[in-house]
Structure 1
Amino acid sequence: MARPKPETFDKQKTVAENRRARFDYAVEAKFEAGLMLQGTEVKALRAGEASIAESYAEIRNGEAWLINANIPEFSHGNRFNHEPRRPRKLLLHEREIAKLMGAVERKGMTLVPLSVYFNGRGRAKVELALAKGRQAQDKREYMKDRDWARDKARIMRDRG
């Protein structure tokens, strides 16, 4: 029998975060995916240099790929240094890939990376979200709800 997956992922060191994604998209499900990296990419990530602000994930030929993620070249690398914006393969189970592919094709959803981090075992992971894009009106409602939740917490804290 398979172990149940934990709700939150074991994030030890967050390298890059896509904070704008939670505003632009309504997140419906989250997945943890491994990253297939080259040697100098791991060193650049450990130095805390990465950006996933303009990146997205897609499924090609039954494989998941992280597109347009920027991991700059390692400063002490030699001629075998990596290309900064190359597509990187995401490591997911076939069942997860099939689930993601079905949601993207049928429901018109998007695969958005939320964060890149190292887990407790030192492996580079990507937190992927299956999300639906928000319209301008939805974004205004989201901001209004978020502000009210913040004000409500402040009122409750002040009243004791």
Structure 2
Amino acid sequence: MGIKIIASNKKAFHDFFIDEVYEAGLVLTGTEVKSLRQTKVNLKEAFCRVKDGEVFINNMHISPYEQGGRENPADPTRVRKLLLHREEIDKLTRKVEEKGLSLVPTKIYFKNSRAKIEIGVGRGKKLHDKRESLKSKEADREMAKALKSARREE
């Protein structure tokens, strides 16, 4: 059936060097899944934590489903559990305990009609790193623009 991307966290790639990514399932209510299908989710301020051998995502905002009524959860930014294999959780726990590494959600999508989230192990960027990555993106854009105009002239 394939993958349908619902939301991606561009801010994560701006603020962090993402070294590894993991795919995790989400524990959601029925109306939250319906809101996800309508792409009413925000990952910008979201972050992940490992607590008591389980991984949780905090501050992920899923807007209440309009036709949900009383079935909607009271808090749209509630803490949600992520579903990972035990060895993946142990690996993530070891990495997070290292200095400067954190778990950042990068995108949320449907894979074979199941809601999945991609979390990355990221190292925080310094201000000069952010400037450098913006310069390289701008240079790539300029190069692509020049190539496009050169092709037109031929």
The TM-score, its normalising length taken from structure 1, stands at 0.87
Structure 2: gaps spanning 5 or more residues: none
1:122 partner letter: S
2:128 partner letter: Q
Between the two proteins, what is the percent identity of the paired residues?
39
Give the conservation status (yes or no) of the 8 Å contact 1:118–1:124: yes
Aligned length: 150
1:86 paired residue among 55, 78, 88: 78
Partner of 1:72: 63
1:117 paired residue among 95, 98, 109: 109
Query: Which of the two has greater strand per residue?
Result: 2
1:105 paired residue among 81, 91, 97: 97
Q: What does the per-residue CA deviation read over 1:16-74, in whole Å, with 9 as the maximum and x for residues that have no partner?
A: 22111111111111111111111111111111111111000010000000111001111
Q: CA deviation at 1:11?
A: 6.0
2:81 partner letter: K
User: Does the residue aligned with 1:107 lie in a helix, a strand or coil?
Assistant: coil
Structure 1: gaps spanning 5 or more residues: 1-9
Cα distance in 2 for residues equivalent to 1:157 and 1:129: 34
Give the conservation status (yes or no) of the 8 Å contact 2:100–2:124: no
The TM-score, its normalising length taken from structure 2, stands at 0.90
User: Cα 1:31–1:11, aligned 2, differ >3 Å: closer, same or farther?
Assistant: farther
